[in-house]
Amino acid sequence: MIYHIYDKEKLTNVPANDAENCWFDFNDFYVIDGVGADDIIVKELINSDDFLRLILRRFNPNKNFISHCFYFEKPETAPAYLSNFIVTDAALNQFPDLPTRVQITKNAIDFCARTNILGTIRPIVTFLNHSGHFNIKNPTACDSHLLVTECSRLYSNLADFSDFQLDCCLSQNARNTKSISQSGNSNIIVANDINEGNSIVKSFLLNGWAGYGYLAGLSIRVVMNSRANLGDNAVAVAKILK
């Protein structure tokens, strides 16, 4: 079942329920039982704070760490060297410290493994580092270096880890020019904070890329797009329905 959650004060023209879709005002959904791991919950026209409160109260009794993954599909007109990828976290964790970014990374890896949305069993994870190398004068570069070391220690059986600039994440030519040995494009790009992540997401959306937002860290599947791209919810559901 696909549960569409809305705010009845904001959405008055509610579609009819059918065999696969049920629409609930978020206040009513608090008391609905029987939502399982095969179901999908979709954020429709509702404030993110209200939606998150609902999800955390109803579906996170163990207080698991929750983060946000934004999946991008390149447009048909994009250069061949570009590929699909995930940005995390661009919507939930505002200014994460290093342990939190390790958790964000693990959630993204688990999300990819669970949904196979990227079509790879061993993703390449890159922490954005605008210096492109270790630089003791640059806190971001120091953090990225530490994250590569720590995540490689913890999750070497799940993913490969690197740190460099955004262009090198998506372009082999950029990596060759800067003598970076990574052979494939990055599958998961970990932002330094919500401002950086949100700017990347909006930039790609404005340049014609299709993008879909999901919550990661829960036992259920949750689609959480911004109110600006709710029209993509149906495609977002289809991406994780299989």
Spacing of C-alpha 185 from chain mean position: 17
Confidence of residue 242 (pLDDT cuts 50, 70, 90): low
Confidence of residue 126 (pLDDT cuts 50, 70, 90): very high
- Burial annotation 86-109 (CB, 10 A radius, 16+ → b, else e): bbbbbbbbeebeeeebbbbbbbbb
pLDDT for 135 beyond 80: no
Residues contacting 51, CB < 8 A, separation 6+:
5, 26, 43, 224
pLDDT 10s digits, 50-84? 999 999 988 998 899 999 999 999 998 888 888 99
Mean pLDDT, to the nearest integer, of 218-231?
Answer: 86
- Dist CA 169 CA 196 (whole Å): 15
- Dist CA 76 CA 89 (whole Å): 26
Q: Which CATH architecture has domain 67-213?
A: 3-Layer(aba) Sandwich (3.40)
> Are the CB atoms for 65 and 167 separated by under 8 Å?
no
pLDDT for 185 beyond 90: yes
Residue 158: its pLDDT value, please? 97
Residue 64: its pLDDT value, please? 93
Name which of 4-13, 70-79, 128-137, 197-206 the model is least confident about. 128-137
Residue 38: its pLDDT value, please? 87
In the sheet where 40-43 sits, what is the strand order?
21-25, 2-6, 40-43, 221-223, 210-216, 67-73, 85-88, 188-190, 124-128, 160-164
Domain regions of the chain by residue span: 1-64+218-242, 67-213
- Count of Cβ atoms closer than 10 Å to residue 226 Cβ: 18
User: By 3-state DSSP, what share of the chain in percent is helix, strand and coil, each rounded to 5?
Assistant: 35, 20, 45
pLDDT for 215 beyond 90: yes
Mean pLDDT, to the nearest integer, of 193-222?
Answer: 93
Q: What percent of the chain has pLDDT over 90?
A: 67
Q: What is the pTM of this model?
A: 0.92
